[in-house]
Structure 1
């Protein structure tokens, strides 16, 4: 009997032991609690795991889709839902590993730690007006770090962001906590090299909110005090970082990339100030298209990152060409037709200037023989006497040479402003006309087997049309066409323009082509009218 009793208890104990081991092994991983992980810098870090260790959480409204990774608590993807790439895909402004940010810490033991190596646990909440995502991680001895994102439900490109902490002073040195953000700009247009010409890092600083930028071409960096915002700008889109707690000192850097996927790299690095030995820091990101009116609504002079040129050129583009384009957009016409209408309107406004120029040209060409006779007569005279005789001759025939000089000077700002307007206006992005598939990009009808310096490796048909019209206008407007030993010199400017315009926006070439055609029409009409009246008056 005793032996049987001992066997019975042994059997029960064995079964219980097996069940305990079985249930421990079956317990879900996320219920085990925390686990010590050895980081690359040999610091033991306690991190709470989410059910999906390397998962993502999505915040989304009508305009933007944001993916946030558990690893590092970073934004891993940004989609702008109302825009497409050149090959008609939804536009992705940020993708995995192209955009990283986080905290660089120095622990009390002197070790360097990067929060991008940490795993965060997401907690998504929804209010009537916004989505709020809290990404939480834990560090020893029982402290915590929170990244808090919020995205408005209504139409908005703005992602609000804040960092809070608890127990940070027991883990890190409070004057050795830095915010580090890096971004590689993804190539979004068909020709990355062309797009790279318009990619640039801009920033605003100081109480006067001055705006400056790093070099578009060469690697550049700067240390800026009291920065207001930083924009990593592409040709038509930008990422704007706006710290609500002003950084006292920020190091910014940028450089061009030769990658087949990325066009430019930019970074910022700044120490963070603690309040009562804890982080309570707020900022926001704006992932926005470079639409002038949209940026202006944000305030803080965001609209000035659109490269419309310096001062007077910027003023002409903002206050005239942009408003004229927006007005004509209401017609719902093709954008090529809208550019033609813009050209006609500008020509009508500038008609008094064009009129005096053409009047001068017509009369001078008719009196060419008299001018040549006067020049022959005064060839040995001193410069002052020649000048006085020439002025007197102009008075006799009723023209003023300044009627050509000053109008030409007046039109230079308009000419240069257009160079900055057409490649940088998002309204024209992806808009086609005839054989040009994008009016902000050069049209190419033939690809050359080699690259010609300055000119490029393609043939732009709109450029050829413009140059042909330019040559005709130069030929018929040139006063000293005959008897001039340097007659080929007058074609120097068209040749120069051929080299440079070939790689510019097709909308610009279209504008100049129509402008020169209108100049030719006005020249012939005025020339015919003026010469007829002059002959009748002198017979």
Structure 2
């Protein structure tokens, strides 16, 4: 794997010698002083370097050796291109701001590249086996509007990097060489990209989770990502490679694709940066020359913008796979946009979204709560069966319990349907709230950003293991209402009848508390949604119990069902009964065999 280790000792010595020769030549051939001509080709000379490691090993006098910068700017982007390596050294998204810890708001310039956190270039092997790296070259700039040509010479060969800033967060990056075929061997150039992803958002752990490699292949038809330590694609030709963060990304698209791609990533636990990435791949040369067109994209993860490119960029937005992603794209996002179009703030939009989802699920929820009421009515008979078989044949007891349910017309499996329906909704929203850029920076009550946690309650210490220094009010409120809802719905849960079996009621009470540990560092929009959802559940239960369902009528219906012929068993019920009978028969056979041995 290609690692971002900066410059080694030999490279530093060569660079220092090169810099000293350049300084001597500049001094010896310095022309007589004259009035400087007006130009936009470059700004006053400033110190830059290819990598942070190089800067820490060079003294101040060497930093200024023939290095300058060129600026390109449009509505969306501001780029600074350094003559050292001919690289883009600064990328600023003009229409967005980054999180500022000191002010607890998004008011810092949003810089994807800056302070040498990103370095890239091409590496060639010459005919003697030595490596030539464009990151070590000093280029000469020539600017024409929002296009600049960076040119460098190396042993008689000429290398040009031509950057053209276009609209929609796009930068054309064309590479041309002349005479390179006399120096190099092989038919491929190696592209090297080292990048340290800077923290942009308030929730560090959440943003770090969403910071990863993304790439497309199969002529843009397939997509994959890698959030682990390494990536290796030796058989696929990558159509583009991206280093994606929570809401922003840098993408490089080569005209002829990347082959033999390798990447590594390493999490950074604290400080300005989240992760350290290193990527290397090969791209084709022709006849010993390297003439290749690339495109850089520095863009926000806005779904409509990403889809406009038609290059599978919309997969960069982590909305979930298959049905989950479809639900977010075609249901939750359009719903949010329609309601937000009414002029409501983001928090109230989420409130109305919750009500709409509840209304859609109301028929299923009604059946669930009706089943709950029916089970309360037949609870005395269930308790009677449990008491009858206490300490006895557990299989026989279970059969009689199922018979009580069957005679009463109660289908236990019907209670599983609402839970199954809500699982994909939960996961879709888990993906939606932290990654929907329209919520980024939107405040609501004490939450300053609904895509991050609220931290009004500050702790005077960091909580061990978790590393928290705050308590989220939204997460706390959500945990309380889930506990209340659990107390109200746990009455139908049977206590364990055998020793060693877990107490399900205790487990149900533990779940909301453990859920708090998840929500405390998650999107406050997600916590707000589940607070409203569970508060509505409580009101629905009360309304059904006291205004809609009459337990006396339900009891009468159950008694009437007992006098009727039982309904035919469903396939699942029949299968369960047969399995229990088989298990009971096997148990009897085992007991007989045990008796014979004695």
Range into which the TM-score falls when normalised by the shorter chain: 0.7 to 0.9
Within-5 A mapping of 1:239-258 = 239-258=250-269
- CA distance in 2 between counterparts of 1:494 and 1:423 reads 21
- CA distance in 2 between counterparts of 1:278 and 1:28 reads 40
Asked if the contact 1:214/1:254 (under 8 Å) is kept, the reply is: no
Q: In the alignment, what sits opposite 1:195?
A: 207
User: Which of 510, 517, 520 is the matching residue for 1:502?
Assistant: 520
Q: In the alignment, what sits opposite 2:221?
A: 209
- CA distance in 2 between counterparts of 1:196 and 1:23 reads 51
Q: In the alignment, what sits opposite 2:587?
A: none
Q: Deviations over 1:271-314 (max 9, x none)?
A: 33222321110111110111112111112211112222333322
Pair 1:149-2:163 in alignment: yes
Q: In the alignment, what sits opposite 2:435?
A: 424
Q: In the alignment, what sits opposite 1:520?
A: 538
Shift of 1:322: 1.9
Asked if the contact 2:93/2:111 (under 8 Å) is kept, the reply is: yes
Which structure features the higher share of strand residues?
Answer: 1
Q: Deviations over 1:208-232 (max 9, x none)?
A: 733222234xx22314331111110
Structure 1 residues 409 and 24: CA distance shift in structure 2, 3 A: closer
- CA distance in 1 between counterparts of 2:377 and 2:555 reads 13
- CA distance in 2 between counterparts of 1:173 and 1:278 reads 10
Q: Deviations over 1:148-190 (max 9, x none)?
A: 11122xx410111110011111233344632222221111123
Shift of 1:29: 13
Pair 1:58-2:71 in alignment: yes
Q: In the alignment, what sits opposite 2:196?
A: 184
Shift of 1:25: 5.2
SS of 1:86's partner is strand
Q: In the alignment, what sits opposite 1:134?
A: 149
TM-score by length of 2: 0.76
Structure 1 residues 324 and 367: CA distance shift in structure 2, 3 A: same
Asked if the contact 1:366/1:531 (under 8 Å) is kept, the reply is: no
Asked if the contact 2:187/2:288 (under 8 Å) is kept, the reply is: no
Unpaired runs of at least 5, structure 2: 1-27, 38-49, 51-63, 101-106, 498-502, 560-598
Shift of 1:321: 1.7
Q: In the alignment, what sits opposite 2:14?
A: none
Shift of 1:398: 4.0
- CA distance in 2 between counterparts of 1:249 and 1:399 reads 60
Shift of 1:453: 3.3
Q: In the alignment, what sits opposite 1:531?
A: 550
SS of 1:134's partner is strand
SS of 1:103's partner is strand
Asked if the contact 2:347/2:443 (under 8 Å) is kept, the reply is: yes
Within-5 A mapping of 1:432-451 = 432-448=443-459, 449-451=461-463
- CA distance in 1 between counterparts of 2:200 and 2:555 reads 63
Q: Deviations over 1:303-352 (max 9, x none)?
A: 11222233332232222222222222212211111111111111111111
SS of 1:479's partner is helix
- CA distance in 1 between counterparts of 2:30 and 2:364 reads 91
Q: In the alignment, what sits opposite 2:53?
A: none
Q: In the alignment, what sits opposite 2:478?
A: 466
Asked if the contact 1:106/1:176 (under 8 Å) is kept, the reply is: no
User: Which of 365, 370, 377 is the matching residue for 1:359?
Assistant: 370
Unpaired runs of at least 5, structure 1: 1-21, 32-39, 41-50
Structure 1 residues 109 and 482: CA distance shift in structure 2, 3 A: closer
Asked if the contact 1:251/1:270 (under 8 Å) is kept, the reply is: yes
Q: In the alignment, what sits opposite 1:278?
A: 289
Asked if the contact 1:147/1:164 (under 8 Å) is kept, the reply is: yes
Within-5 A mapping of 1:92-491 = 92-126=111-145, 131-141=146-156, 143-152=157-166, 155-175=167-187, 177-207=189-219, 209-216=221-228, 219-224=229-234, 225-258=236-269, 260-379=271-390, 382=393, 385-448=396-459, 449-454=461-466, 456-480=468-492, 486=503, 487-491=505-509
- CA distance in 1 between counterparts of 2:555 and 2:376 reads 17
Q: In the alignment, what sits opposite 2:60?
A: none
Shift of 1:482: 8.9
TM-score by length of 1: 0.84
- Kindly tell me the number of residue pairs found equivalent between the two proteins: 491
